[in-house]
A and B are shown apart, each in its own frame.
Chain A
Amino acid sequence: MEERRKMIEMTGIVKKYFIDTPNELAALNGVDLTVHEGEFLAVVGASGSGKSTLMNIIGTLDRPTEGHYTLDGVDTNAAKDSELSSIRNQKVGFVFQTYNLIARTSALMNVELPMLYGGMSRKERNERAEELLRMVGMEERMKHRPEELSGGQKQRVAIARAMGNDPSIILADEPTGALDSSTGRMVMDLFHQLHDEKGKTIILITHSPELAEETERIITLKDGAVISEREGSGHAVV
């Protein structure tokens, strides 16, 4: 464990909203978190526990009010906004509950998007996007637009997009929340595949204890603090 690279290193993360007003609210209250390369981690907690805030900070969409956060060796506290864009582009792959594919744009173009912003050449990103869509089993529907895809298919395209620039971590926020159990199972299997075969670091944010059990480590948040941390099975419960 110790010799593995630290992907995420958070110390004393505090996030407050409405600072210096009577409504001041601490969404995160001193969170310490370390995630190593290749870990499959679940963050669970009731709504309002600070899950989303933590995810936003891990994904560098938001900055902590206090504390220190290093992502894959990059000090995010010191980074400018434009540098955070490029960190998100290269080191983080987002998978959202609501898929968030770009409408009226083919599956292929959606997968190419992070590579486009990363400055990859057209030929290279086209080849890579096709390869990623094959990996998630969507090779038959590369030219289809999101409107023409089912929920499970959309989420598979979204996962392929998250893999676009071969990121350090994949950040999945309730990825099966909008899917029925069988397509949800398919999506979870895909995460296991990415973890087992590609050695990806995956952080799964969920309120489902069953899904959390499938991961290697389960972190429970309550009122902006980590209240428990335990090991999971690390594989799907059949």
Chain B
Amino acid sequence: MLLYENIRLAFSSLRANKMRAFLTMLGIIIGISSVIAIMTVGESIESSVTDTMGSLGATNITVSLQEKEDEEEGESVEMGMQFEGPGRMRTPTEDDYFTDAMLHDYCENYPDTIEAISVQESLSSGQLLVDKLYANVSPSGVSDGFFLANDLELIDGRYFSDHEIENHSMAAIISDKAVNNLFQGDTDAAIGSTISLVSGDQYLTVTVVGVYEYEQSIYSFGNTSEKDLSTDLYLPLPTARDLNHTTGESSFTVVTAAVTDVDSFISSTEQFFNTYYRNNRNFEVYAFSMSSMLDSLTSMMGTITTGIALIAGIALLVGGIGVMNIMLVSITERTREIGTRKAIGAPNSAIRMQFLVEAMVICLIGGIIGVILGTVLGLVAAKVLDMPATPSISSILISLGFSMAVGIFFGYYPANKAAKMDPIDALRYE
């Protein structure tokens, strides 16, 4: 019945003490805005990471070499020699690499589980040159499975033929951006053309057989101009190995069939390869999947969120105590008003409701300002991190509800104190 009047009254009393009301709200504003900001950023990061992981294929398993823990070295670490650690790190040599024979056996062993194996041999970055035009490229040799593992589709031309792979030929697949720079976007002119490739100190000639669509990666920060953008150029794997004078790789990616239990296949894979590396002094095999990376990332985000929520909770607690304090001051200042209201015939419940509504209005306004501020902060942060911003509706609603609850919890004691004042004492209060 009195709700409307109580809200009006609360606003007029806040207007009378604007500065005080704002300072009181500050704790609530800080608490709520930090919750909203971190939720917005958190959800943006999570959704963009999930998108990326999805496009990379969460069921892909990456297999790589990892240095064996040497028992003697372990002791030296304990003796305080760990600063020498990086100097001692070994890089895998030709003898340690995964060989084609191993991969062949691996595929034979798990024919139903393995869909493709993606191997990439990177070359020095360089430039494609056509007359006076150039395009920056990062060349690498890739196996057939690479295109499947990375979900890369050609917009024109074809993949490498068996003939080209077997003959270690200089066939190349380039990006549409490179075509834009070299052939003014004319893919028909690009395909079949023979162009110069400078890679490191090697001068090569490649024949373009296919063009793929370049996708901006979320990891590429900054804005390099279209002209200087470096895109990937792919050669057949044996060709790149010839150029690098290698016969194997230190890591590769397995595309598994959709029905595979990825976690158990990871351990089978490690077991399978470690039979080859039992006698290797320095290295052993380590396999992981994107989904296991995603799990650890999610749990890390969870820890951060919990930490921020705890800080926000403390801010809200302090803010709530501030509200309680100011309400106690307010009812003391307005003791005569309370006495007058009681003399006029206000029941205790009406007085209690009046001050409870005032406390709730303070907290709710603080909450609303906090939500707006937090959303803006979150959106700006997401923009800076170049991620899609998703303000979380549920966390906004929960925050507003929570700030009202803070108002009720910390407003009840002062409101009850006001309600229980003796009218005579209150009227006589100077």
Contacts and interface: CB of A to CB of B under 8 A. Distances in A.
A100 B2 contact: no
Nearest to A161: B344
A25 interface: no
Interface string A118-134: 11000000000000000
B345 A117 contact: yes
Query: What is the predominant secondary structure among interface residues of chain B facing chain A?
Result: helix
Nearest to B346: A117
B347 A117 contact: yes
Interface string A3-43: 00000000000000000000000000000000000000000
A48 to B, nearest CB: 15
A86 B343 CA distance: 10
Contacts of B347: 82, 85-86, 117
B346 A100 contact: no
Interface stretch (B130-138, B237-245, B261-269, B333-341): B333-341
Contact of A89 (B1, B336, B345): B345
Interface in B6-55: 9, 12-13, 15-16
A105 interface: yes
Contact of B427 (A87, A96, A114, A117): A96
Contacts of A86: 345, 347
A229 to B, nearest CB: 26
B357 to A, nearest CB: 14
A116 interface: yes
A82 B350 CA distance: 11
A89 B344 contact: yes
A90 B345 contact: yes
A65 to B, nearest CB: 14
A164 B337 CA distance: 18
B348 A85 contact: yes
Interface in B90-120: none
Contacts of A116: 2, 5
Contacts of A191: none
Contact of B424 (A62, A82, A103): A62
Interface residues on A, range: 20 to 34
A90 B340 CA distance: 15
Given A88-B345, A89-B345, A100 B350 contact: no
A56 B423 CA distance: 10
A87 B339 CA distance: 16
A61 B343 contact: yes
Contact of B12 (A96, A105, A114, A118): A105
B374 to A, nearest CB: 32
B336 A100 contact: yes
Contacts of B424: 56, 61-62
Contacts of B12: 104-105
Interface in A64-90: 81-82, 85-90
Contacts of A59: 343
A82 B336 CA distance: 20
Nearest to A82: B347
Residue from B341, B343, B350, B427 whose CB has the most chain A CB atoms within 10 Å: B343
Nearest to B333: A103
A36 B69 CA distance: 106
Nearest to A90: B345
Interface string B264-300: 0000000000000000000000000000000000000
Contact of B337 (A56, A90, A103): A103
Contact of A85 (B5, B15, B346): B346
B342 interface: yes
Contacts of A89: 344-346
Contacts of B344: 88-89, 94, 113-114, 117, 161, 164
Given A56-B424, A88-B342, A114-B345, 14 more contacts: A61-B342, A89-B344, A89-B345, A89-B346, A94-B343, A94-B344, A100-B336, A100-B339, A102-B340, A103-B337, A105-B12, A117-B350, A161-B344, A164-B344
27 contacts: A61-B342, A82-B347, A85-B348, A86-B347, A87-B345, A88-B342, A88-B343, A90-B345, A94-B343, A96-B427, A100-B336, A100-B339, A100-B343, A101-B340, A102-B337, A103-B16, A103-B337, A104-B12, A104-B16, A113-B344, A114-B344, A116-B5, A117-B346, A117-B347, A117-B350, A118-B345, A119-B1
